[in-house]
């Protein structure tokens, strides 16, 4: 599988996207730098993505900082040892506590290898991740984007991506997940770069980051 691993890969993807869809040229011009956002696979990275679910980037940053200070190193055994009390002290909701504990148990008990998971086909990897309590498609897709460098995943349920694409293409109201997923099909096989591009465009729109935090 071709991976998005370098700044050159991002540049190649952006050039290909503008050939696939000329409407993206002004998006590229306004977006500025499109970050690589590549993190090592593993529990800490997935934990950061779980923390980022359905909260602002600022809130995710704050909770991740507290969690990292409370669990050092931030790994599955440390989270299990601390249990709900540590996760609650970090400010995580009950749903996020349950999700992180489910992932930690799966890792410790041997049923989940987050390092080898990134070598799988995206569809199979998503099925395995979403079988865990509290891990939905968005979390699985973001993990594969940023920890596997998968080139062709577009997390269409992401509200910032919906907002950015809606603004760029004058779609009102902004496209919901199903509609955005269909629209993004025309950007294959570079949808992973398209997602990064539109997160960068959102930053241009609002002056703040919205791309998920990854450890």
DSSP codes joined into one string, 43-98: HHHHHHHHHTTTS-HHHHHHHHHHHHHHSSS-SHHHHHHHHHHHHHHTT--HHHHH
178, two tokens: 């199903």
172, two tokens: 């009102």
Which strand (E) or helix (H) includes residue 12? helix 7-20
Confidence at residue 58, expressed as pLDDT on a 0 to 100 scale: 85
- Mean pLDDT score of the chain, rounded to an integer? 94
**Residues 103/76, Cβ–Cβ less than 8 Å:** yes
Can you say whether residue 172 is alpha, beta or left, with left for phi > 0 and alpha for psi between -120 and 50 degrees? beta
pLDDT digits (tens, 9 = 90+) for 61-82: 899 999 999 999 999 999 999 9
Confidence at residue 211, expressed as pLDDT on a 0 to 100 scale: 87
**Domains of the chain, CATH where assigned:** 7-37+152-206 (1.10.1670.40), 43-147 (1.10.340.30)
- How far is Cα 49 from Cα 171, in angstroms, rounded to an integer? 28
The model's confidence at residue 55, banded by pLDDT at 50, 70 and 90, is confident
- How far is Cα 44 from Cα 61, in angstroms, rounded to an integer? 14
How confident is the model over 143-158, as a mean pLDDT? 95
Stated pTM of the model: 0.92
């Amino acid at each position: 599988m071709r991976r998005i691993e370098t700044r050159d890969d991002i540049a190649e993807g952006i050039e290909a996207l503008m050939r696939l869809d000329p409407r993206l040229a002004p998006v590229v011009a306004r977006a500025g730098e499109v970050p690589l956002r590549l993190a090592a696979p593993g529990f800490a990275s997935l934990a950061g993505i779980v923390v980022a679910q359905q909260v602002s980037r600022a809130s995710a940053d704050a909770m991740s900082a507290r969690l990292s200070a409370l669990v050092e190193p931030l790994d599955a055994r440390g989270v299990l040892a601390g249990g709900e009390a540590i996760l609650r002290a970090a400010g995580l909701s009950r749903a996020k506590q349950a999700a992180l504990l489910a992932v930690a148990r799966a890792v410790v008990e041997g049923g989940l290898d987050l390092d080898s998971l990134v070598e799988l086909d995206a569809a199979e990897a998503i099925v395995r991740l979403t079988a865990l309590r509290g891990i939905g498609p968005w979390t699985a897709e973001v993990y594969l984007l940023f920890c596997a460098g998968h080139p062709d995943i577009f997390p269409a349920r992401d509200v910032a991506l919906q907002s950015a694409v809606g603004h760029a293409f004058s779609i009102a109201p902004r496209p919901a997940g199903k509609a955005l997923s269909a629209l993004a099909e025309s950007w294959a096989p570079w949808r992973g770069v398209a997602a990064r591009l539109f997160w960068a465009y959102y930053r241009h729109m609002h002056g703040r980051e919205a791309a998920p935090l990854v450890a």
